[in-house]
Amino acid sequence: MATIRNPILPGFNPDPAFCRVGDDYYIATSTFEWYPGVQIHHSRDLVNWRLACRPLNRKSQLDMRGNPDSCGVWAPALTYADGLFWLIYTDVKRRLGNFKDTHNYLVTAPSIEGPWSDPVYMNSSGFDPSLFHDDDGRKWFVNMVWDHRRRRSSFDGILLQEYSPAEQRLVGPIKNIFKGSPLGLVEGPHLWKRNGWYYLTVAEGGTAYNHAVTMARSKTIDGPYELHPDTHLITSKDAPDAPLQRAGHGFYVETSTGEVFHTHLCSRPLPGTRRSPLGRETAIQRVVWKEDGWLYLAQGGQVPALEVEGPDLPPHPFPPEPERHDFDGGELPSPFQWLRTPEPERIFSLSARPGHLRLFGRESIGSWFEQALVARRQTSWTYSAETVVEVQPETYQQLAGLICYYDRARFHYLAVSADDEGRRVLQVISCLGDHPDALMTYALESDLPLPQKGPVHLGVDVRLAELQFRWSEDGVTWIPVGPVLDASILSDEAGPGAHGSFTGAFVGMAAHDMTGRALPADFDFFVYREDASETA
């Protein structure tokens, strides 16, 4: 049997919902403010995975303009029944303060590639929704409920209500079926049924270093639910030296060979730190049913393993993702996403200049509405990225270049701009996440003069917590730009509070034009190359 090496989905891929259809396995993960919404990966052996689709790809399904950082699509749930895929998701419109605006929707499709339907509105009482298809044909909707009063905890338990496919709405009484364990912060519910028992797994402890998968069961779907003998099926909260930290929030699947596995999110902090630029990633653990009717990790204990014995399934590798993308096709290459807007033609084009990705400079960096930023996930502690841009800024309000980005308060930006006389210059702009107003710093004492016309090659090298920008006129001879910067700020943990940020580091291309003239910036290619000798 092949060995599963965790994480199976490296880089920002949290909240993994797990679904099997015949010999095919699918994992749906959260995308937050990145568009299109929801990543669905596909495998046939649980070892090798490929991105199959991002189903929320049009305005009628998802419009996140104005959504704050780390809002948007939270914790999707993917199931299959009645010849359809059923995808439940939340679009979070607010996360700070007492209130959260959490709108839950359902879309369906006959195949994983679609076409995916327009959404059916479900409710807004809380986030992390999931749909369970009972063996009597009834369908049940669960989500955590948010208590804005905060008299005890804002995480007030798991609500259950029946869903009527005929009426396309929730029907019948609403019941709080599970208040969680003493760990608290109960969320991420998933239901399934086995041997007459209803099993419920939830995420608890918050998504930082006390995270856990908690398990409970009941003879009736509406409870009462009894806790697992160990309370938690998977957690690293008591194992500070475990390589997979923040373990929690996942789902159970039985393979076609009768073996059982459970997904979970995790993070890998940089050595000697509590910062994880790769974000919350997806891992998978082999689990076993014991005579007491409960699941346990196959290796024993509760701490997730880096390597797991894979299932007895034929190997099914996929072609590797190319390091270089030349933007020669009519569609954006699959690793790339953009921020919030369902109108991508406003921020980029692959046809305006064939063989190039043209970005139209829009609002300022960090805008929650219309920002021309196209990027891909950082998936290794060590990587190099390169691109080349042709842009003619006329004012310091116009910028374009290479960006390492987490959110509006955490980024490093190697930008081609103009000085007061309109001459092209190179700048290094950072926001270090340590100020509530997201104030920027400039790493260079003075802007670096550039040739006044022609392409500018831009590069970055990231080695653990060190980030070094570089530039070149010809793409052969490179010159370092500025000091070594702190790459660790591009992480959840570098932000305010333990539970305030939920994505991961991206690297890509950006263009900003605060004049409103939408200055075009043409990028000929993008290279992302991991250092195989130093991968995380």
Residue 348: in which H helix or E strand, if any? strand 348-349
**Amino acid at position 511, single letter:** A
Options 254, 309, 323, 370, the catalytic residue: 370
CB contact at 8 A, 64 and 71:
yes
- The secondary structure of residue 280, as a DSSP letter, is S
CB contact at 8 A, 184 and 152:
no
Phi and psi at residue 219, in whole multiples of 5°?
-80, -15
**What is d(CA 497, CA 499) in angstroms, rounded to the nearest whole number?**
6
CB contact at 8 A, 118 and 140:
no
386 catalytic? Reply is no
**What is d(CA 42, CA 52) in angstroms, rounded to the nearest whole number?**
6
Q: Which residue has the tokens 């000091």?
A: 483
Provide long-range contacts, Cβ within 8 A and 24+ apart, for 499-502.
Answer: 499/206, 499/207, 499/208, 500/70, 500/95, 501/69, 501/70, 501/406, 501/407, 502/14, 502/30, 502/32, 502/70, 502/74, 502/207, 502/279, 502/280
Question: How does strand 307-309 pair with strand 324-325?
Answer: unpaired
Picking from 207, 198, 160, the residue whose alpha carbon sits closest to that of residue 179 is 160
Which residues are catalytically annotated? 370
